[in-house]
Chain A
Amino acid sequence: MIAAETISNKNPVWRITGRAFHSGNELPGNWRDLLATRLGQRPRRIGILAELALFGALDCMDSAGEKTLSGDTVLRVCSLRGAATAIGQVLGQIRQELPMPFNFLQSQPSQLLPALAAALKWQGDAGIVVARDRMSLAILAARQAGPNGMLLGWVEEEEPRLSQWIRLAPCALPPDGFAAASSFEKIVLPGTLYWRLGRAGMEIAPVPDTSCMKAT
């Protein structure tokens, strides 16, 4: 096994080790039941956004063959609409002049972060960072990624409902054949295995390589 220390800090290469792309009709109709089964109980005091994030992230971790993240992993979540359902409920309660909103905590998108941290039995650098351009978010996450890579998620409650996750781990012996990625869709294609940051932005390589391994 190649030690993580040998990985170049100057221009690291990341290998996609797990994916979970649930969107619209591809999301199982009983996803909340599946999540409750997975967690051993229904999540309490978190909203739909956090539940969706948990469902996709845990599926992605399964795909990566990991049960928890190491401390040096960066976790970033993007949600353009945020906790829209709970925000709408709180706004409604305020407009009805109810004294105190019942769903305030659920209206805070950041509440999905401790839910993820608890489910992954992890403590680390996590944040909600949003941009319309998904590629720019991927590049920013890669710039901040720690020695054990990153877990990136895009989660929306509606229009369409989605929970898309990708896990990237450092790659010690990267392949040749990197090319500039023209779009976000290209960097998450099933045939894409490697990311690295070049002068012109994100570069990707599709070549399978068994010499790369996840940092543990």
Chain B
Amino acid sequence: MRPVYLRGCGLISSLGPNLPQAIEALKKSGREPQRVRLADGSDWPCFTIDHPGEDWRGRACQLICAAIAEAGVIADRAANRNTPLFVASSSLDIGAIEAESGEFGDAFFFAEEIAGWLGWIGPVYLVSSACTSSLQAVQAASALIGTGEVDDAVVLGIELSNRFSISGFASMQLLTPARPRPLGAGRDGIALGEAVAVLHLSNRTARWRVCGGSNLVDGRDPTGAVPETVARMCKQALSDSGLKPSDIGLVKLQAAGSPTNDESELSGMAAVFEPMPPLVTLKAVMGHTLGASGAAEIALLTACLESGIWPQAGYAFDPGLRHEMAPEKPPAARYILADILGFGGGHAAVILEDTSVRSEEDAEQ
């Protein structure tokens, strides 16, 4: 298999219109979520993107084109007309259908509409496996690059405003009424967020290498994580990457603030990692961006590691969990496991290598 690198990233989120501004926002402890009111008068926090747009589709087009440009895809894409685009999303364009009073028709239409906005020539895939969609897309793209089918692939994670998702999560009593507190004492639910995230994967060398990953669906719980499956997910990702648990220098958790899921995730991790590597969660600062979350959190995490700016929780952690978020950037995390757990019994992880750390280690030897 050929190596796969993360050649470029783009991210538009509640933290800002690009990664540099997201890092600047993190320096100032992030941004407060907005409130979204539902028909019954209840209102819920949501990490929305501060971008008005003319209408839902016009706004989506502007955001996608901007994120693609930030990832540097347009110039690179011209080199290979077979470059596949993987659109990863849970809610697709349901926000536009709500606004237009339209009917839901063809799920793939939205992926084709995005391809049209971008003038995309290569093949287009839609991955819609709920929260794990983006990480599944990264794995599919990596398979195509690794086997030599293509040299480049682009993953676009997108989750934009709609009442459908907020109403649905509220109906399942999964939302916090305030700000989410992943791993926090008294955590009481998740907050959703908007994101448009782009990962440009390539066989050409870059700082971040995609080492491998795993994707497991467990039928025992269609809405939550299963500790044994979390452990198996980690073991498979490590095996796929040719690594052992002690190689992992940082774990980017799913941890969204759910009372039970955060605990299940840590329980599964503890069965694999002893001692536990430093942990980080990004959902306190960006919300849960559902199908986009895998790509959005990889984009933000790599930017945090490159800049040295580290997200701060700003609340007390739950001592009962026995593990908490690392207060600062780990000094030399060469291998990073990033996981997403979600609806549909999804448990997915990818492992990234920071090749700049390898270079330092090699130089020391």
Contacts and interface: CB of A to CB of B under 8 A. Distances in A.
A123 B40 CA distance: 39
Contacts of B38: 99
A91 B104 contact: yes
A126 B169 CA distance: 23
A104 B126 CA distance: 21
Interface residues of A, number: 51
Interface stretch (A26-34, A78-86, A170-178, A181-189): A78-86
B170 A100 contact: yes
A86 to B, nearest CB: 10
Classify the secondary structure of B's interface with A. mixed
Interface string A82-122: 10100110110111011111101101111101111111001
Given A111-B343, A111-B344, A114-B219, A130 B40 contact: no
B326 interface: no
A82 B128 contact: yes
Nearest to B217: A126
A133 interface: yes
B104 A87 contact: yes
B234 to A, nearest CB: 14
Interface residues of B, number: 58
Given A94-B167, A123-B232, A114 B217 contact: yes
Nearest to A130: B126
Contacts of B107: 79-82, 109, 130
B365 interface: no
A113 B103 contact: no
B223 interface: yes
B344 A99 contact: no
Contact of A90 (B106, B132, B168): B168
A100 B129 contact: no
A132 to B, nearest CB: 6
Contacts of A63: none
B253 interface: no
A125 interface: yes
B163 A127 contact: no
Contacts of A3: none
Given A90-B164, A123-B216, A129-B126, A143 B147 contact: yes
A127 B167 contact: no
Nearest to B126: A130
A129 B232 CA distance: 23
A115 B223 CA distance: 12
B32 interface: no
Contacts of A129: 125-127, 129, 136, 140
Interface in B63-107: 90, 94, 97-98, 101, 103-107
B81 to A, nearest CB: 15
Interface of A: 75, 79-82, 84, 87-88, 90-91, 93-95, 97-102, 104-105, 107-111, 113-119, 122-133, 136-137, 139-140, 143-144
5 contacts: A80-B106, A117-B217, A124-B216, A130-B128, A133-B123
